[in-house]
Structure 1
Amino acid sequence: MKLLLTSAGISNTSILNALIELLGKPVAEARALFIPTAIYAIAGGADISRNVICGQLGDPFCELGWKSLGILELTALPSIKEELWLPMLQETDALLVGGGDCQYLCYWMQQSGLAKLLPSLLQKIVYVGLSAGSMIMTRFGTTYGNHNLPAGSDKSLKLVDFALHPHLDHEWFPKNSIDNIQKLAATIAVPSYAIDDQTAIKVTDDSIEVITEGHWKLFNL
Protein backbone atom coordinates (compact mmCIF):
# COMPACT_ATOMS: atom_id res chain seq x y z
CA MET A 1 0.00 0.00 0.00
CA LYS A 2 1.32 3.40 -1.02
CA LEU A 3 -0.47 6.47 0.32
CA LEU A 4 0.38 10.16 0.38
CA LEU A 5 -2.19 11.84 2.60
CA THR A 6 -1.98 15.61 2.22
CA SER A 7 -3.86 18.48 3.78
CA ALA A 8 -3.93 20.72 0.70
CA GLY A 9 -2.04 19.04 -2.13
CA ILE A 10 1.59 18.98 -3.22
CA SER A 11 2.40 22.20 -1.40
CA ASN A 12 6.19 22.05 -1.14
CA THR A 13 9.34 20.32 -2.39
CA SER A 14 9.44 17.78 0.43
CA ILE A 15 5.94 16.50 -0.35
CA LEU A 16 6.72 16.48 -4.08
CA ASN A 17 9.86 14.41 -3.47
CA ALA A 18 7.82 11.95 -1.37
CA LEU A 19 5.34 11.62 -4.24
CA ILE A 20 8.11 10.96 -6.75
CA GLU A 21 9.61 8.34 -4.45
CA LEU A 22 6.28 6.54 -4.16
CA LEU A 23 5.71 6.70 -7.91
CA GLY A 24 9.20 5.45 -8.68
CA LYS A 25 9.34 7.86 -11.63
CA PRO A 26 9.06 11.60 -12.36
CA VAL A 27 5.56 13.08 -12.30
CA ALA A 28 5.95 13.94 -16.00
CA GLU A 29 6.14 10.21 -16.75
CA ALA A 30 3.16 9.22 -14.58
CA ARG A 31 -0.53 8.91 -15.45
CA ALA A 32 -3.12 10.17 -12.98
CA LEU A 33 -6.87 9.98 -12.40
CA PHE A 34 -8.68 12.62 -10.35
CA ILE A 35 -11.75 11.80 -8.23
CA PRO A 36 -13.73 15.02 -7.57
CA THR A 37 -16.79 13.35 -5.99
CA ALA A 38 -16.42 14.59 -2.39
CA ILE A 39 -16.61 18.24 -3.39
CA TYR A 40 -20.16 18.06 -4.74
CA ALA A 41 -21.60 17.81 -1.22
CA ILE A 42 -20.42 21.29 -0.19
CA ALA A 43 -21.63 24.69 -1.37
CA GLY A 44 -20.10 25.75 -4.69
CA GLY A 45 -18.64 22.29 -5.22
CA ALA A 46 -18.89 22.30 -9.02
CA ASP A 47 -16.89 25.51 -9.32
CA ILE A 48 -14.35 24.33 -6.75
CA SER A 49 -13.86 21.09 -8.67
CA ARG A 50 -13.19 22.97 -11.89
CA ASN A 51 -10.70 25.28 -10.17
CA VAL A 52 -8.82 22.36 -8.61
CA ILE A 53 -8.58 20.61 -11.99
CA CYS A 54 -7.36 23.80 -13.68
CA GLY A 55 -4.89 24.58 -10.91
CA GLN A 56 -6.65 27.83 -10.02
CA LEU A 57 -7.32 26.94 -6.38
CA GLY A 58 -5.00 25.69 -3.67
CA ASP A 59 -1.67 23.96 -4.05
CA PRO A 60 -0.60 21.91 -7.09
CA PHE A 61 -2.56 18.68 -7.43
CA CYS A 62 -4.11 17.99 -10.83
CA GLU A 63 -1.93 20.62 -12.54
CA LEU A 64 1.34 19.09 -11.40
CA GLY A 65 2.62 18.21 -14.87
CA TRP A 66 1.28 14.66 -15.14
CA LYS A 67 1.89 12.72 -18.36
CA SER A 68 -1.89 12.35 -18.57
CA LEU A 69 -4.84 13.25 -16.37
CA GLY A 70 -8.33 11.77 -16.43
CA ILE A 71 -11.45 12.27 -14.32
CA LEU A 72 -13.02 9.32 -12.48
CA GLU A 73 -16.49 10.31 -11.24
CA LEU A 74 -17.64 7.74 -8.68
CA THR A 75 -21.34 8.57 -8.91
CA ALA A 76 -21.33 7.48 -12.57
CA LEU A 77 -19.67 4.10 -12.08
CA PRO A 78 -22.65 2.04 -10.80
CA SER A 79 -24.58 2.80 -13.99
CA ILE A 80 -21.90 1.87 -16.53
CA LYS A 81 -20.14 -1.37 -17.32
CA GLU A 82 -17.02 -2.08 -15.30
CA GLU A 83 -15.10 -2.84 -18.49
CA LEU A 84 -15.32 0.87 -19.39
CA TRP A 85 -13.53 2.17 -16.30
CA LEU A 86 -11.66 -0.62 -14.53
CA PRO A 87 -8.90 -1.02 -17.17
CA MET A 88 -8.30 2.74 -17.05
CA LEU A 89 -7.95 2.56 -13.29
CA GLN A 90 -5.62 -0.44 -13.43
CA GLU A 91 -3.35 1.34 -15.90
CA THR A 92 -2.95 4.56 -13.92
CA ASP A 93 0.01 5.41 -11.69
CA ALA A 94 -1.66 7.79 -9.24
CA LEU A 95 -5.18 8.16 -7.93
CA LEU A 96 -5.81 11.78 -6.90
CA VAL A 97 -8.73 12.02 -4.47
CA GLY A 98 -9.99 15.52 -3.80
CA GLY A 99 -11.48 17.10 -0.70
CA GLY A 100 -15.02 17.88 0.38
CA ASP A 101 -17.40 15.72 2.42
CA CYS A 102 -15.91 12.50 3.83
CA GLN A 103 -19.26 10.77 4.32
CA TYR A 104 -20.40 11.52 0.77
CA LEU A 105 -17.09 10.33 -0.65
CA CYS A 106 -17.09 7.17 1.45
CA TYR A 107 -20.64 6.32 0.36
CA TRP A 108 -19.78 6.57 -3.32
CA MET A 109 -16.48 4.73 -2.85
CA GLN A 110 -18.59 1.84 -1.53
CA GLN A 111 -21.48 2.13 -3.99
CA SER A 112 -19.15 2.31 -6.99
CA GLY A 113 -17.23 -0.80 -5.93
CA LEU A 114 -13.94 1.10 -5.74
CA ALA A 115 -13.63 0.57 -1.97
CA LYS A 116 -13.43 -3.20 -2.46
CA LEU A 117 -10.81 -2.81 -5.19
CA LEU A 118 -8.53 -0.41 -3.32
CA PRO A 119 -6.55 -2.94 -1.22
CA SER A 120 -5.37 -4.76 -4.36
CA LEU A 121 -5.03 -1.65 -6.54
CA LEU A 122 -2.87 0.10 -3.96
CA GLN A 123 -0.18 -2.55 -4.33
CA LYS A 124 0.65 -0.75 -7.59
CA ILE A 125 -1.13 2.60 -7.66
CA VAL A 126 -0.15 5.54 -5.46
CA TYR A 127 -3.13 7.02 -3.61
CA VAL A 128 -2.77 10.79 -3.19
CA GLY A 129 -5.40 12.35 -0.95
CA LEU A 130 -6.30 15.98 -0.39
CA SER A 131 -8.14 16.90 2.85
CA ALA A 132 -11.27 14.68 2.91
CA GLY A 133 -9.63 12.53 0.25
CA SER A 134 -6.93 11.81 2.82
CA MET A 135 -9.18 11.50 5.87
CA ILE A 136 -11.36 8.85 4.24
CA MET A 137 -8.49 6.34 4.36
CA THR A 138 -8.15 6.71 8.14
CA ARG A 139 -10.32 5.93 11.16
CA PHE A 140 -12.00 9.33 11.22
CA GLY A 141 -14.13 11.34 8.82
CA THR A 142 -16.39 14.38 8.85
CA THR A 143 -19.48 15.56 7.00
CA TYR A 144 -21.11 18.83 6.03
CA GLY A 145 -24.52 17.13 5.98
CA ASN A 146 -25.52 18.53 2.57
CA HIS A 147 -26.79 15.21 1.27
CA ASN A 148 -29.56 12.65 1.66
CA LEU A 149 -27.49 9.59 2.49
CA PRO A 150 -28.88 6.78 4.64
CA ALA A 151 -28.54 7.42 8.37
CA GLY A 152 -25.36 5.97 9.78
CA SER A 153 -23.43 5.92 6.50
CA ASP A 154 -19.71 5.41 7.02
CA LYS A 155 -17.48 8.47 7.10
CA SER A 156 -14.22 6.64 6.38
CA LEU A 157 -12.86 3.39 4.94
CA LYS A 158 -10.54 2.68 7.90
CA LEU A 159 -7.67 1.32 5.79
CA VAL A 160 -5.04 2.75 8.19
CA ASP A 161 -5.10 2.72 11.98
CA PHE A 162 -4.89 6.41 12.77
CA ALA A 163 -6.98 9.55 12.43
CA LEU A 164 -6.02 12.58 10.37
CA HIS A 165 -6.99 16.20 11.03
CA PRO A 166 -5.92 18.47 8.13
CA HIS A 167 -5.72 22.28 7.83
CA LEU A 168 -4.23 22.78 11.28
CA ASP A 169 -4.42 26.48 12.29
CA HIS A 170 -5.72 27.49 8.84
CA GLU A 171 -7.45 30.87 8.67
CA TRP A 172 -10.32 29.38 6.63
CA PHE A 173 -11.00 26.80 9.37
CA PRO A 174 -11.03 28.62 12.74
CA LYS A 175 -12.14 25.47 14.58
CA ASN A 176 -8.95 23.68 13.55
CA SER A 177 -6.83 25.06 16.37
CA ILE A 178 -4.42 22.75 18.17
CA ASP A 179 -6.53 22.94 21.34
CA ASN A 180 -9.74 21.97 19.56
CA ILE A 181 -8.09 19.13 17.72
CA GLN A 182 -6.57 17.86 20.95
CA LYS A 183 -10.02 17.69 22.53
CA LEU A 184 -11.40 15.88 19.47
CA ALA A 185 -8.46 13.47 19.38
CA ALA A 186 -9.18 12.47 22.97
CA THR A 187 -12.53 11.05 21.81
CA ILE A 188 -11.01 8.87 19.05
CA ALA A 189 -9.69 5.42 19.92
CA VAL A 190 -6.60 5.60 17.68
CA PRO A 191 -3.61 7.96 17.40
CA SER A 192 -4.42 11.28 15.69
CA TYR A 193 -2.20 13.36 13.42
CA ALA A 194 -2.97 17.07 13.21
CA ILE A 195 -1.26 18.49 10.11
CA ASP A 196 -1.08 21.89 8.46
CA ASP A 197 -1.13 22.55 4.72
CA GLN A 198 2.65 22.15 4.46
CA THR A 199 2.54 18.62 5.87
CA ALA A 200 1.58 15.17 4.60
CA ILE A 201 1.56 11.61 5.91
CA LYS A 202 3.37 9.05 3.77
CA VAL A 203 2.28 5.44 4.28
CA THR A 204 4.17 2.56 2.72
CA ASP A 205 2.67 -0.75 3.85
CA ASP A 206 3.16 -0.62 7.66
CA SER A 207 5.56 2.35 7.62
CA ILE A 208 4.26 5.82 8.53
CA GLU A 209 6.36 8.94 7.87
CA VAL A 210 5.52 12.59 8.42
CA ILE A 211 6.65 14.76 5.50
CA THR A 212 6.68 18.41 6.50
CA GLU A 213 7.92 21.92 5.93
CA GLY A 214 5.31 23.23 8.35
CA HIS A 215 3.96 22.08 11.70
CA TRP A 216 2.08 19.06 12.98
CA LYS A 217 1.36 17.15 16.17
CA LEU A 218 0.68 13.53 17.02
CA PHE A 219 -1.85 12.82 19.75
CA ASN A 220 -1.35 9.31 21.11
CA LEU A 221 -3.87 7.53 23.32
Structure 2
Amino acid sequence: MEIIDQVRQASSIVEIASQYTTLKRRGRKWVGLCPFHTEKTPSFTVDEDKQLYHCFGCGAGGDIFSLLMERESLTFPEALKSLAERYRVPLPAQQRVRPEVLKLEEKLFKINELAVAYFRKNLHGTAEGKKALEYLRKRGLSDETVQTLKIGYAPNAWTALLDAFKAKDVPVSLLEKGGLVLPGSRPGEYRDRFRGRVIFPIFSLTGRVVAFGGRTI
Protein backbone atom coordinates (compact mmCIF):
# COMPACT_ATOMS: atom_id res chain seq x y z
CA MET A 1 0.00 0.00 0.00
CA GLU A 2 1.29 3.47 -0.84
CA ILE A 3 2.46 5.53 2.13
CA ILE A 4 -0.10 8.19 1.18
CA ASP A 5 -2.93 5.70 1.65
CA GLN A 6 -1.48 4.49 4.95
CA VAL A 7 -1.36 8.02 6.34
CA ARG A 8 -4.82 8.90 5.01
CA GLN A 9 -6.41 5.81 6.58
CA ALA A 10 -4.71 6.37 9.93
CA SER A 11 -5.70 10.04 10.10
CA SER A 12 -8.98 11.61 11.22
CA ILE A 13 -10.23 14.46 9.05
CA VAL A 14 -12.83 15.29 11.71
CA GLU A 15 -10.11 15.69 14.31
CA ILE A 16 -7.97 17.85 12.03
CA ALA A 17 -10.89 20.02 10.88
CA SER A 18 -11.98 20.47 14.50
CA GLN A 19 -8.74 22.37 15.11
CA TYR A 20 -10.11 25.17 12.94
CA THR A 21 -13.87 25.11 13.60
CA THR A 22 -16.45 23.56 15.90
CA LEU A 23 -18.14 20.62 14.22
CA LYS A 24 -21.48 19.05 15.07
CA ARG A 25 -22.72 15.74 13.73
CA ARG A 26 -25.66 16.01 11.37
CA GLY A 27 -26.71 12.60 10.10
CA ARG A 28 -23.72 10.89 8.53
CA LYS A 29 -21.71 14.11 8.22
CA TRP A 30 -20.23 16.82 10.41
CA VAL A 31 -21.17 20.48 9.95
CA GLY A 32 -19.65 23.74 11.14
CA LEU A 33 -18.70 27.29 10.21
CA CYS A 34 -16.24 27.37 7.34
CA PRO A 35 -12.62 27.92 8.42
CA PHE A 36 -11.82 29.47 5.04
CA HIS A 37 -14.29 32.37 4.99
CA THR A 38 -16.47 34.37 7.38
CA GLU A 39 -20.06 33.18 7.67
CA LYS A 40 -22.91 33.08 10.18
CA THR A 41 -24.72 29.99 8.92
CA PRO A 42 -22.69 26.74 8.86
CA SER A 43 -22.00 25.57 5.31
CA PHE A 44 -18.81 23.58 5.92
CA THR A 45 -19.32 19.80 5.86
CA VAL A 46 -16.96 16.95 6.64
CA ASP A 47 -17.60 13.42 5.41
CA GLU A 48 -15.78 11.13 7.83
CA ASP A 49 -16.37 8.00 5.74
CA LYS A 50 -14.99 9.49 2.53
CA GLN A 51 -12.37 11.60 4.36
CA LEU A 52 -13.42 14.72 2.42
CA TYR A 53 -14.55 18.24 3.29
CA HIS A 54 -16.57 20.76 1.30
CA CYS A 55 -17.91 24.26 1.88
CA PHE A 56 -21.12 25.12 0.04
CA GLY A 57 -20.47 28.79 0.74
CA CYS A 58 -17.02 29.44 -0.74
CA GLY A 59 -16.50 26.19 -2.66
CA ALA A 60 -13.41 25.08 -0.73
CA GLY A 61 -13.01 21.34 -0.59
CA GLY A 62 -10.62 18.44 -0.65
CA ASP A 63 -9.14 15.72 1.51
CA ILE A 64 -7.19 15.75 4.77
CA PHE A 65 -3.95 16.63 2.99
CA SER A 66 -5.36 19.66 1.18
CA LEU A 67 -7.08 20.81 4.40
CA LEU A 68 -3.77 20.89 6.23
CA MET A 69 -1.93 22.37 3.25
CA GLU A 70 -4.40 25.24 2.90
CA ARG A 71 -4.74 26.05 6.61
CA GLU A 72 -1.08 25.71 7.55
CA SER A 73 0.46 26.82 4.22
CA LEU A 74 2.29 23.51 3.86
CA THR A 75 3.55 21.70 0.80
CA PHE A 76 2.20 18.21 0.17
CA PRO A 77 5.35 16.48 1.53
CA GLU A 78 5.17 18.66 4.65
CA ALA A 79 1.50 17.82 5.21
CA LEU A 80 2.25 14.12 4.69
CA LYS A 81 5.09 14.25 7.22
CA SER A 82 2.99 16.19 9.75
CA LEU A 83 0.10 13.71 9.64
CA ALA A 84 2.43 10.71 9.68
CA GLU A 85 4.08 11.99 12.85
CA ARG A 86 0.78 12.89 14.51
CA TYR A 87 -0.80 9.50 13.84
CA ARG A 88 2.41 7.53 14.32
CA VAL A 89 2.70 6.13 10.83
CA PRO A 90 6.31 5.09 10.14
CA LEU A 91 7.69 7.24 7.36
CA PRO A 92 11.10 5.95 6.23
CA ALA A 93 13.51 8.72 5.37
CA GLN A 94 13.83 7.61 1.78
CA GLN A 95 10.06 7.94 1.36
CA ARG A 96 9.55 11.33 2.96
CA VAL A 97 9.80 13.38 -0.21
CA ARG A 98 9.96 10.72 -2.88
CA PRO A 99 9.65 12.22 -6.37
CA GLU A 100 7.27 9.42 -7.37
CA VAL A 101 4.85 10.47 -4.61
CA LEU A 102 4.67 13.97 -6.02
CA LYS A 103 4.41 12.60 -9.56
CA LEU A 104 1.46 10.44 -8.51
CA GLU A 105 -0.37 13.42 -7.03
CA GLU A 106 0.22 15.40 -10.21
CA LYS A 107 -1.08 12.53 -12.35
CA LEU A 108 -4.24 12.35 -10.25
CA PHE A 109 -4.79 16.10 -10.63
CA LYS A 110 -4.50 15.73 -14.42
CA ILE A 111 -6.91 12.79 -14.45
CA ASN A 112 -9.39 14.85 -12.43
CA GLU A 113 -9.19 17.61 -15.04
CA LEU A 114 -9.89 15.05 -17.78
CA ALA A 115 -12.82 13.78 -15.73
CA VAL A 116 -14.22 17.31 -15.38
CA ALA A 117 -14.16 17.69 -19.17
CA TYR A 118 -15.75 14.25 -19.60
CA PHE A 119 -18.59 14.96 -17.15
CA ARG A 120 -19.26 18.42 -18.62
CA LYS A 121 -19.39 17.01 -22.15
CA ASN A 122 -21.99 14.49 -21.00
CA LEU A 123 -24.09 17.21 -19.37
CA HIS A 124 -24.21 19.45 -22.42
CA GLY A 125 -23.82 16.98 -25.28
CA THR A 126 -26.10 14.03 -24.56
CA ALA A 127 -29.87 13.59 -24.30
CA GLU A 128 -29.49 12.08 -20.84
CA GLY A 129 -27.28 14.97 -19.77
CA LYS A 130 -29.67 17.61 -21.07
CA LYS A 131 -32.37 16.18 -18.79
CA ALA A 132 -29.95 16.63 -15.91
CA LEU A 133 -29.29 20.21 -17.04
CA GLU A 134 -33.02 20.93 -16.98
CA TYR A 135 -33.12 19.50 -13.46
CA LEU A 136 -30.38 21.93 -12.39
CA ARG A 137 -32.24 24.86 -13.93
CA LYS A 138 -35.41 23.90 -12.08
CA ARG A 139 -33.36 23.81 -8.88
CA GLY A 140 -32.46 27.45 -9.47
CA LEU A 141 -28.95 27.06 -10.88
CA SER A 142 -28.30 29.39 -13.79
CA ASP A 143 -26.31 28.26 -16.82
CA GLU A 144 -23.57 30.65 -15.71
CA THR A 145 -23.38 28.98 -12.29
CA VAL A 146 -23.24 25.54 -13.90
CA GLN A 147 -20.34 26.71 -16.05
CA THR A 148 -18.52 28.43 -13.19
CA LEU A 149 -18.75 25.40 -10.89
CA LYS A 150 -17.92 23.06 -13.79
CA ILE A 151 -20.90 20.86 -12.98
CA GLY A 152 -21.22 17.76 -15.14
CA TYR A 153 -23.11 14.51 -15.50
CA ALA A 154 -22.20 10.82 -15.21
CA PRO A 155 -24.25 8.66 -17.59
CA ASN A 156 -26.29 5.81 -16.17
CA ALA A 157 -23.97 3.08 -17.43
CA TRP A 158 -21.62 0.68 -15.66
CA THR A 159 -18.40 1.41 -17.56
CA ALA A 160 -18.93 4.62 -19.57
CA LEU A 161 -16.13 6.58 -17.88
CA LEU A 162 -13.91 3.51 -17.67
CA ASP A 163 -14.24 2.88 -21.42
CA ALA A 164 -13.65 6.55 -22.26
CA PHE A 165 -10.47 6.70 -20.21
CA LYS A 166 -9.20 3.35 -21.48
CA ALA A 167 -9.45 4.84 -24.97
CA LYS A 168 -7.11 7.60 -23.74
CA ASP A 169 -4.68 4.97 -22.37
CA VAL A 170 -5.26 6.05 -18.76
CA PRO A 171 -4.30 3.16 -16.44
CA VAL A 172 -7.20 1.66 -14.51
CA SER A 173 -5.02 1.64 -11.39
CA LEU A 174 -4.89 5.45 -11.45
CA LEU A 175 -8.65 5.71 -11.99
CA GLU A 176 -9.17 3.51 -8.94
CA LYS A 177 -6.67 5.47 -6.85
CA GLY A 178 -8.42 8.68 -7.87
CA GLY A 179 -11.80 7.30 -6.79
CA LEU A 180 -13.36 7.32 -10.25
CA VAL A 181 -13.81 3.55 -10.58
CA LEU A 182 -14.42 0.70 -8.14
CA PRO A 183 -13.49 -3.00 -8.27
CA GLY A 184 -16.23 -5.23 -9.66
CA SER A 185 -17.42 -8.57 -8.35
CA ARG A 186 -14.87 -10.50 -10.42
CA PRO A 187 -11.07 -10.28 -10.26
CA GLY A 188 -9.75 -7.64 -12.64
CA GLU A 189 -13.23 -6.22 -13.25
CA TYR A 190 -14.02 -2.54 -12.61
CA ARG A 191 -17.05 -0.26 -12.81
CA ASP A 192 -17.70 3.47 -12.69
CA ARG A 193 -18.17 4.97 -9.22
CA PHE A 194 -20.69 7.56 -10.44
CA ARG A 195 -23.66 6.50 -12.59
CA GLY A 196 -26.76 8.53 -13.44
CA ARG A 197 -25.68 11.43 -11.24
CA VAL A 198 -25.08 15.15 -11.50
CA ILE A 199 -21.39 15.64 -10.73
CA PHE A 200 -19.99 18.48 -8.62
CA PRO A 201 -16.19 18.89 -8.71
CA ILE A 202 -14.62 19.71 -5.35
CA PHE A 203 -11.89 22.34 -5.59
CA SER A 204 -8.96 23.23 -3.39
CA LEU A 205 -8.45 26.92 -2.60
CA THR A 206 -5.82 26.96 -5.33
CA GLY A 207 -8.47 25.94 -7.84
CA ARG A 208 -7.41 22.36 -8.46
CA VAL A 209 -9.99 19.57 -8.58
CA VAL A 210 -9.29 17.18 -5.71
CA ALA A 211 -12.44 15.03 -5.71
CA PHE A 212 -16.01 14.72 -6.97
CA GLY A 213 -19.44 14.58 -5.41
CA GLY A 214 -22.51 13.09 -7.08
CA ARG A 215 -26.24 13.70 -6.70
CA THR A 216 -29.02 11.51 -8.04
CA ILE A 217 -31.88 13.19 -9.91
Scaled by the length of structure 2, the TM-score of the pair is 0.28
Larger Cα Rg: Structure 1 or Structure 2? 2
Scaled by the length of structure 1, the TM-score of the pair is 0.27
Higher relative contact order (CA closer than 8 Å, sequence separation 6+)? 1
Q: Whose helix fraction is larger, Structure 1's or Structure 2's?
A: 2
